[in-house]
Amino acid sequence: MYLMNDDKKNSLVQRAFANHLRVAAVAAAVVALTLTGCGDSKKSEKASQTAAKVNKEEITVHQINFVLQRQQGLKPEQAEAASKQVLERLIDQELAVQKAQELKLDRDPRVVQQIEAAKREIISRAYVERIGESISKPTNEEIAKYYNEKPALFKERRIYSLQEVAIEAKPEQFAQIRDKLQAAKNKNEFAEFLKANDFRFTGNQAVRAAEQLPLAGLDAIARMKDGDSAISQTPTGLTVLFLVGSRPQAVSEEQARPAIEAFLSNQRKGEVVQKDIKALRDAAKVEYVGKFAEKAPEAAGAASAAAVAAPAPAPAPAATPASGGLNAADISKGMGLK
C-alpha cells in the first residue's frame, strides 16, 4: 500500500533545476557587480576576480558564483547581499582548510578516501551528462501520446480526500480483518471492530492531487469510487486506504507539456546511458577477486549501469496560471521526476 502522508518521497533536487534560469541571472548579476569599475589592464582584471585574501590564499568571484548557482529560489536582486554572505562562509571554510592542512588532516586515510570517492562521482557524472547532451527532444507526437496514455494524471485528474489506517496484525489474522472490511458499512464501523478486538492501529488523512500520489499506484486509486477502500499487506500487518471523496480537476496538454517533455527526455537519457555502460562492461575485462569471485552477480552490469546512468533531473516546468489550480512542477513529481 502507499503511505499518503510520506511527503519526503519527493526529491528536493528538482527544485534546484527549476530555478536554473534564475540562477544564471543571479550569477550574471554577481559578475556585473564585481567587474564594475575595472580597468582594461590584465592586472586590474586579475584583481577584479579576487574577492578576499585569507593569509596567502585567495577566494575568487568564481568560487562565489559556484555556490550561488546551487542555491534555490535566489532572485537577481538578492545577488549582492547573498554574495557577501557566501564570501564570509568561504572565508571560514578557507580558515578551516588551512588549519586542517597544518594538522595534516588532508593526509588522513579516511579523508583521502572521501576525496577520491567524490572525485570519481563527479567525473562519472560528467561523462553521463556528456552522453545526455546528444539526446534528442521528444516530438509533439510523443508528448501527446504520453498525455493520452495517462488520463488519471492529466485529462481525468482528480483531487482525492484519503484516509489511511495502518494495522498491526499477524498473518493468521489477515482473513478476519479483510472479511470485516468487506462487511462493514463504513470506516467508523470498521474502526470499532479493530478497537473491540484489541488491534493496534494508527490513522492519518490527507488531501492529495493525482500527481502527489505514487505513479505506480495512481491507476488503481483512480478506479476507486468515493467510499471505496483498498487493503494491502505490509511488513507489520495491513494497511487500509479509504477514498473519502474526490473531485475532478483536469490538466490540459498545454499545461502538462513541459513536465512530459522533461520526463521523456530523462527516460530516454537513462536508456542511452545504460546501453553505453553495458557496452563498456562488455568490452572491458572485469575479474572478481576473493570472496566476490565465489558468486559473481549475474545482473551486475545492469545494476551498475543503473547506478551510474541515473539521469540528472530535467528542469521543472514553470507554474501554470493560478486559475488552473495546479503548479506544473507537481506534475513532474507525480511522473517520477526526482
Q: What is the pLDDT of residues 28-65, one digit of tens each?
A: 444 444 444 444 545 555 557 999 999 999 999 999 99
Residue 279 has pLDDT above 60, yes or no: yes
H or E segment to which residue 307 belongs: helix 300-309
Residue 23 has pLDDT above 70, yes or no: no
Query: Is pLDDT larger for residue 179 or for residue 21?
Result: 179
Query: Is pLDDT larger for residue 94 or for residue 70?
Result: 94
pLDDT of residue 201: 94
The pLDDT tens digits for 221-274 are: 999 999 899 999 999 999 999 999 999 999 999 999 999 999 999 899 989 999
Q: Which of 3-17, 130-144, 151-165, 324-338 has the lowest mean pLDDT?
A: 3-17
Going from N- to C-terminal start, the domains of the chain cover 7-107, 158-248
Output the CA–CA distances (angstroms, integers) from residue 218 to 133, 156, 174, 265, in the order listed.
32, 12, 25, 22
204 phi, psi to nearest 5 deg? -150, 160
Query: Is pLDDT larger for residue 34 or for residue 171?
Result: 171
* Best CATH choice for the domain 158-248 from the list 3.10.50, 1.10.3470, 2.60.120, 2.60.40: 3.10.50
Confidence category of residue 296, pLDDT binned at 50, 70, 90: low
| Interatomic CA distance for residues 104 and 117, integer angstroms | 19
pLDDT of residue 185: 85
- Kindly report the average pLDDT of the chain as a whole number: 79
pLDDT of residue 27: 43
Residue 123 has pLDDT above 90, yes or no: yes
pLDDT of residue 45: 55
What predicted TM-score, i.e. pTM, was given to this entire model? 0.58
pLDDT of residue 42: 53
Q: Which letter, b or e, does each residue of 71-101 get, where b requires 16 or more Cβ atoms within 10 Å of its Cβ? A: eeebebeebeebbeebbeebeeebeeeeeee
Residue 21 has pLDDT above 50, yes or no: no
| Interatomic CA distance for residues 265 and 270, integer angstroms | 9
Q: Which of 15-19, 100-104, 190-194, 209-213 has the lowest mean pLDDT?
A: 15-19
Average pLDDT over residues 189-194: 92
Q: Which of 7-16, 174-183, 253-262 has the lowest mean pLDDT?
A: 7-16
Q: Which of 1-5, 12-16, 284-288, 290-294 has the lowest mean pLDDT?
A: 12-16
